[in-house]
Amino acid sequence: MIAATLLAFLVRFEDPQWISDNLRLVGFYLLLSVPLRLAIFFAVGMYRRLWRHASVGELKPILFAAVGGGAACVLIGLVVLPVFNITATRVPFSVVFIDTLLSGALVALPRLMARIRRHGFTRRRRDDMGKRVLIAGAGDAGKLVVKELFATRQLGLEPIGFVDSDATKHGHTLAGLPVFGPLAHIPEIVERLGVAEIIIAMPSAPGTVIRQVVRAALACGIPTRTVPSLPEIISRQGNATGLREVEIQDLLRRDPVETDLAAVAELATSETVLITGAGGSIGAELCRQLARLAPNRLILLGHGENSIFDIFQELSLSFPDIDITPVIADVRDRQRIAHIFQLYRPHAVFHAAAHKHVPLMEDNVLEAVTNNVAGTRNVVDAAVEANVQHFVLISTDKAVRPTSVMGATKRIAEQLVQHAASKHHRNFVSVRFGNVLGSRGSVVPTFLRQIRAGGPVTVTHPEMRRYFMTIPEAVQLVLQAGALGRGGEVFVLDMGEQIRVVDIATDLIRLSGLEVGADIEIKFTGVRPGEKLYEEMFFTAENVLPTDHPKVLRARNGLLAEGTIRRIDALSKTTDAGRPEDEVRKLLQTLVPDFHPHGATMHEDEGRAVDSSRRA
């Protein structure tokens, strides 16, 4: 401080003798200004910061301190000293101005040097480099990854530069490293610079971009890692610099779902919410996302005690302020379900309990009907009696022109919800979507298990296609659809493009570091009873309308056919009596005219035609 002030006088008057001739003015100015500036610097926290960890943001307190100190010097030099006759003359304004600039610079310089020195120490010497790493994505995430790699030498990774699809970044530098070029140049850069690994630092990039990077890396024979996706970061399942292996979800990643939280919050905040099938994949994720909306009580209803215990323990630890109530019950027990609803009287209900495995339900028709139809009816009727305001049925794309018993029963469940909504004027809706990655019994866990066992990986048909989305994405859109509903609608989630199941199997094998054919065989087993080569999201007669959310569509079916409820009653009586399965299938067809049992072969030629037209 003293040096800055003396230097300011020297710069202004260009003669050290002036300071000697005006020692009283200089001395009193120093005596008053230096302690005051030190107090200001202390007040803004200049002496409580770890400057070796400073960033650009730390310049703000230095600026505030310098400006505050300058204002204090103006007050002392131009007002206090002459007004109170402490000195004969005032301090020149130019001296105060120069003093402010110099003191700010001299205070900032050693602190920033500490940061620069630490940053320099973290960079390895060229003769002590780790594995050379190329960063895909020259943005904020990429910069954070480079910073972390330089700071954490024990990882043994040496970032050498970036690739990015944004042409405006090419030829520039980020975090001191060059941006080499586009993603298409990855093979050439890997070969030229001896890259040993690629880190994907694009948390919001779509799956097509991730697949491009991963396949380029696989073709070069090097591994890839990635930072968590944006939904993972938001849901606190990962942090922006926590690297992990690339997973199949990354290859299918789509644009992040933007949720209208205010509308969704009306379903749950400070209310009692009940979820059936709460121990299942979708049900458990519904519980997690609903818990974040701060309901008054969350009722976890399920038939399997172990799965309910697991999700109850998880939520109790994560959300200690919410009343989490586990309930073991079977939706087929009408009296038990009615008692539960009357006891808790929920504001909103999410009905996820169902049998979902297509081949299993072909061999267990009565179970499919009693659980998916009778169980849904019990829950819907109990919801009506308990004056539930919001009801959301989790349906499936297999309910459209079904070829399976499971699909037909889910279509009848949609009809039950529609009937209750129209008859009782309630906000009861259905949400229809396709396969979710990682759910129990889905293709991804099955394929991974087969890969670990050494193969073969079994796929039913080379042209089998399915819609896929992640569990969190599906549940976010289910909640959004529930908020959009006004009663009787079937909401359909935007699932993107259908993906060949064999492509999923191939990507999983390659992500495991193996090659199709050389290490793991893919075996085609043939289409199973009840399966279609491709799925549909709408019936031809459905009136499809957009909603306020770009990824949710509304389908209106018109009025139910006369006698629908009477035929559902007949179906229930037939299953209760244990009648033959063929008789039950015929009753299903009367309720769902588009139901064609064992119709996989019926759609095979049509599926090939659709595929051919898409390729054309």
How far is C-alpha 88 from the chain's CA centre?
70
The pairing of beta strand 173-174 with beta strand 244-245: unpaired
Secondary structure (DSSP) of 455-523: -PEEES-TT-EE-EEEHHHHHHHHHHHHHH--SS-EEEE---S-EEHHHHHHHHHHHTT--BTTTB-EE
Q: CB–CB of 591/412 below 8 Å? A: yes
Q: Which long-range contacts (CB under 8 A, 24 or more apart) does 410-414 make?
A: 410/354, 410/372, 411/591, 411/592, 411/595, 412/372, 412/373, 412/376, 412/568, 412/571, 412/588, 412/591, 412/592, 413/354, 413/372, 413/373, 413/376, 414/490
Distance of alpha carbon 571 from alpha carbon 583, whole angstroms: 9
H or E segment and range at residue 555: strand 552-556
Quickly list DSSP for 245-308: E--HHHHT--SPP---HHHHHHHHBTSEEEEETTTSHHHHHHHHHHHTT-BSEEEEEES-HHHH
Q: Which two tokens stand for residue 206?
A: 């779509």
Looking at residue 102, the DSSP 8-state letter turns out to be: H
Write the DSSP assignment of 23-81 as a string of letters: HHHHHHHHHHHHHHHHHHHHHTTTTSS-GGG--GGGHHHHHHHHHHHHHHHHHIIIIIH
Of the chain, the end-to-end C-alpha distance in Å amounts to 76
- The answer for residues whose C-beta is within 8 angstroms of residue 399's C-beta and 6 or more apart is 407, 408, 410, 411, 413, 414, 432
CA torsion, ordered 475, 281, 343, 261, to nearest 10 deg: -20
Q: Which residues contact 47 (CB under 8 A, 6 or more apart)?
A: 41
**Cis peptide before 346, with omega less than 30 degrees from 0?**
no
> 146 near 138, Cβ under 8 Å?
no
- SS3 label, residue 553: strand
Strand 348-351 relative to strand 272-276, pairing: parallel
Q: How far apart are CA 165 and CA 171, in angstroms?
A: 12
Q: 323: which residues sit within 8 A by CB, 6+ positions away? A: 296, 297, 298
Catalytic residue among 398, 410, 532, 551: 398
SS3 318: helix
Kindly tell me the sign of the dihedral angle through the C-alpha atoms of 440, 446, 448, 453. Answer: positive
Q: CB pairs under 8 A, 24+ apart, for 166-173?
A: 166/138, 169/138
Crossing angle for the helix pair 261-268 and 471-484, to the nearest 10 degrees: 80
d(CA 324, CA 290): 11
398 an active-site residue? yes
Which positions are annotated as active-site residues? 398
